[in-house]
Chain A
Amino acid sequence: MEPFVKVQGIVAPLPRANVDTDQIIPKQFLKRIERTGFGEFLFFDWRYLDDGKTPNPEFELNHPGYHSAKILITERNFGCGSSREHAPWALSQYGFRSIIAPSFADIFYNNCFKNGMLPVVLPEKTVEELIRRAEESPGYSLTVDLEVKKVYDQHGWEMSFEVDESRRERLLKGLDDIGISLRYESDITAFEARRPAFLDRQIAQHH
């Protein structure tokens, strides 16, 4: 996994609450069997007009000022709904490395960390202010620094954020969760030996 230490980039505003994963990546694009190729379909139904080709000029991310954005700033409960990891894949493959919001849905939040992308929770009032700045001056950029747990801009504004320490550690180093869990393989084997047989006997007989 790509580590996340510090990312500096243009901020794209998406002033909508409860953006669900069906919006982030609509179901018709979930049929791929690869992990790649989702970026072009990010926010597909919002991003394109009914012909599915012409960019919708009304959609925030289609503004030329946000085309190379690396940071998405949006409103509460981002990523609610389906567990599809295709949502963080699409955001990351489009070019986002960090998402800032007042709150995130649980599964989506977890999925971000598995893909080298950092979700940052900031207070709602702060988010509103940052959205306003990004809207008023496209090109406004922020730095998200996981090492010092701070978000700051080039004009002296900064704010700290909280993140679970073990998640921070794993993301900073780009560690593979499976590799970490497998360090405890002997514990897993011991646990399996302790499990009462009656629980799984029917399953065992089936196999």
Chain B
Amino acid sequence: MPKTIFQKVWDAHVVHEEPGEPALIYIDLHLIHEVTSPQAFEGLRLAGRKVRRPDLTFATMDHNVPTTSRSLPIADPISRQQMDTLTANCREFGITLYDLHSPRQGIVHVIGPELGLTQPGRTIVCGDSHTSTHGAFGALAFGIGTSEVEHVLATQTLPQKRSRNMAIEVTGSLPPGVTAKDVVLAIIGKIGTAGATGYVVEYRGSVIESLTMEGRMTVCNMSIEAGARAGLVSPDDKTFDYIKGRPFAPQGQDWEKALEYWHSLRTDDGAVFDRTVTIEGETLAPHVTWGTNPGHVVPVTGSVPDPDSFDDEIERRAVEQALSYMGLEPNTPMQDLPLDVVFIGSCTNGRIEDLRSAARIAQGYRVKSGVQALVVPGSTAVKEQAEREGLDRVFTDAGFEWRESGCSMCLAMNPDVLQPGQRCASTSNRNFEGRQGKGGRTHLVSPEMAAAAAIEGHLVDVRTWDVKGSI
């Protein structure tokens, strides 16, 4: 019987199963960071348990880290304590840690692929909802809570109920200026923030196939914003080319065996999905959010919606609340909104290709006076690569701030925080109330749209941009 990649990966990881009980699933790779792990390690200590597979567990620091100079001490004592705790826990339990001073440090979902740890067919978990990013490689990857982090540390397994399986097909091709970010924002706009709850989503179709690995990661990253348990893409030559030669990629004969295995994982022709959603690539435009969840989205040529245009009473109330928080009037064109801050970075759009795309728009221009524009690479390796390519100079010449890597203003746990009332175009993944700082107003966009917005001081349609540079 034909199977989907999700079914194949699932079946290959069942350790134990009995009727009426969740299956016990083996976890191939466990990524941890400073914020959601301390209580899990404490739980292990209290129960006198060990980490079963420290070799399959990798840690880094990302959520809390300052993005100013790494040579300065960390000013916030509580943040520092959390990082020190991770260091002590990794030492005690024998776990590899890429700390603040490691060249391999970075956002956990950026470094996994970068190091070749993220591979097709692996089950990957992390105490972070954007773990779905790794699904771009054909891995089954999902976010878990701290109790589950403890569970994986202790047993290298998780009890899981099998999710349903959804196909989201993006057909045809994308018009110029439309990116992976716009694809995923359009998907969430179409199916809603709970549209994929209970499902593992496989992204398919010619548009998904044509995306680079970075683009596929952007799409899979935001699966959780549609409520999905996980999102993935069947692996192909692009996937294998990306992995080849990376530090943890199989080598020599192992590479040949791995390739054979990975090829076998692709969804079979005729495999059945529980639900299929289709979107035509040609119909897509650059997208931007207007409200307080990622489903509140319109094309950049659109306007702030009128609450009265929503039939559903609960939805209407939510829209009214969102407009009040965002300080917006119905029917205002999105491109008229003045901006205070622009943030380029995060596990959604903080990879090298994202920075190249933004730099291409910024080259030869200046950030609008009064706008603060931050570029925060997703990892130390991305930062070094960008500097080798001279992207840092393009950004700083244009008036952007060039920072050290970390999650930064995506969730504003570190000092990069919006002030109340500030309006921000952001390449991150969540426009929730207060996400980037209490009272801060977030509009989610692609890296290209963010760069153009920084220069004009308001949202603009990047399709009309006059590219001056040569990047």
Contact = CB atoms under 8 A, between A and B. Distances in A.
Indicate, yes or no, whether A interacts with B.
yes
B411 A83 contact: no
Contacts of B229: 106
B471 interface: no
A105 B154 CA distance: 26
A178 B26 contact: no
B42 A33 contact: yes
Contacts of B193: 18, 77, 80
Nearest to B160: A110
Contacts of B321: 16
Contact of A83 (B36, B76, B119, B157): B36
A207 interface: yes
A107 B15 contact: no
Interface in B34-88: 35-36, 38-39, 42, 47, 49, 52, 54-56, 63-64, 76, 78-79, 81-82, 85
Given A83-B36, A107-B129, A199 B250 contact: yes
Contacts of A76: 194, 314
Contacts of B253: 198
Contacts, number: 201
Best-buried of A16, A23, A27, A180 by chain B (most CB within 10 Å): A27
Contacts of B194: 18, 76-77, 80, 103, 105
Interface in A152-207: 164-166, 177-178, 180-182, 184-185, 187-188, 191-192, 195-196, 198-204, 206-207
Interface residues of B, number: 84
Nearest to A46: B433
Given A50-B420, A184-B24, A45 B227 contact: no
Given A18-B318, A20-B293, A106-B227, A166 B21 contact: yes
Contacts of A181: 24, 151, 154-155, 157, 159
A187 to B, nearest CB: 5
B433 A45 contact: yes
B145 A110 contact: yes
Nearest to B322: A18
B411 A191 contact: no
Contact of A200 (B56, B227, B433, B438): B56
Which range contains the number of A residues in contact with the other chain?
35 or more
B331 interface: no
A177 B143 CA distance: 18
B116 A202 contact: yes
A54 B423 CA distance: 26
Interface string B116-133: 110100100001110000
A28 B413 contact: yes
Interface string A70-95: 00000111001111111010000000
Contact of B20 (A27, A85, A165, A177): A165
Interface string B2-23: 0000000000000110001110
Given A83-B128, A164-B161, A198-B250, A105 B144 contact: no
14 contacts: A17-B315, A18-B193, A20-B430, A20-B432, A22-B430, A27-B412, A81-B430, A83-B129, A111-B145, A164-B161, A178-B155, A187-B16, A203-B248, A207-B96
Interface of B: 15-16, 20-22, 24, 26, 28, 35-36, 38-39, 42, 47, 49, 52, 54-56, 63-64, 76, 78-79, 81-82, 85, 96, 116-117, 119, 122, 127-129, 143-148, 150-151, 154-157, 159, 161, 193-194, 197-198, 224, 227-229, 247-251, 253-254, 257-258, 261, 293, 314-315, 317-318, 321, 411-413, 420, 430, 432-435, 438-439
Interface of A: 15-18, 20, 22-23, 26-28, 30-35, 45, 50, 75-77, 80-86, 88, 103, 105-107, 110-111, 114-115, 124, 164-166, 177-178, 180-182, 184-185, 187-188, 191-192, 195-196, 198-204, 206-207
Nearest first, the 7 A-B pairs at minimum CB distance are A114-B147, A85-B145, A33-B38, A198-B254, A111-B145, A83-B143, A85-B146
